[in-house]
Amino acid sequence: MDLTTFIGIVVGLVLIIFGIGLDSIGNFWSLQSILIVVGGTFAALIASYPARILKQLPKQFKILLKNPYNPLEFIDQLHDLAIIARKSGLLALEERANAMQDPFFREGLMLIVDSTTPQQVSDILDNTLEHIEERHSEIIEFYEKGAGYAPSFGMVGTLIGLVNMLMSMDLDEGADGLSVSMGIALITTFYGTVLANLFFIPIAKKLRVRSDEEILCRKIIIEGILAIQAGENPNFLKEKLITFLPQYEKGMGKKKKGKDEPPEE
């Protein structure tokens, strides 16, 4: 799993367990509560989405496992390809395209190898990129919806517990029994809040950051492929693509004065 997401969730859980106290941890175990909160949240999510989107979820979790997209690597590859194209023509890129891991990059290269017009290359790649963005948003929204459902089903569970307690209350068992029932009822609200704030919201946000990184790489690839097709100078191409990076400014600082910390950061 993605490192900071893993660390964050583990640290959060450890702190919560520490807050509960190890000897009281049993107070917070309730299969019934888990079924209502976790089960109810996923039931509502299943009801919200078609099978087509639900099936993509396991694959999405793998994204968290993967190393993030590295835009610098793509820029270096584009720089190399620009040199090859300059030396041996666009057709020489076919071999490299076939060896390409990334299907978007490969497709883009094949388009210029196949002598598609620049306008068509740009149209097809932009169109594809737009649909990648839409699909990402759909997945991210899934977790955001979950963040909304979880506390609601926490409250549903608490209400179930309270109503059952109040309506079948036997005063003979005394206030002790009452307080235990109320404690059990509150556990579901606890589950719902933790589920939303330590899982759904952070994962949704992390996926959004990862998606932004991927989109950035895709934009660099599109820009680079069009520049290769136009026969641009490989070094100028590289410099232009570097302006896409957040690190660019830092680079500017270093290039000129070797300052370690650019003031405008």
Residues within window 153-192 making contact with a copy of itself, judged by CB under 8 A: 153, 155-157, 159-160, 162-169, 171, 174-176, 179-180, 182-184, 186-187, 189-190
Return the number of the residue (87 or 196) whose C-beta is nearest a copy of itself: 196
Give 89 or 248: the residue with its C-beta nearer to a copy of itself.
248
Cβ(74)–Cβ(222) below 8 Å: no
Site string (87-116) toward a copy of itself, x via CB under 8 A: -----------x--xxxx-xx--x------
Chosen residue from 15, 57, 91, 230 binding a copy of itself by CB under 8 A: 15
Tokens (6 digits) for 204: 């949704």
Residue 21: which region, alpha, beta or left (left: phi > 0; alpha: psi -120 to 50)? left
> Rounded distance, CA 161 to CA 265, Å?
53
Query: And the tokens for 87?
Result: 């030396």
Is-contact 152 36, C-beta < 8 A? no
Nearer to a copy of itself, 87 or 261 (CB): 261
Q: Does 145 bind a copy of itself (CB under 8 A)?
A: yes
Closest among 108, 53, 54 to 78, alpha carbons compared: 108
Of 87 and 123, nearer to a copy of itself (C-beta) is 123
**53-72 positions binding a copy of itself, by CB under 8 A:** 53-54, 56, 59, 66, 68
> What is the rounded distance in angstroms from the CA atom of residue 15 to the CA atom of residue 198?
12
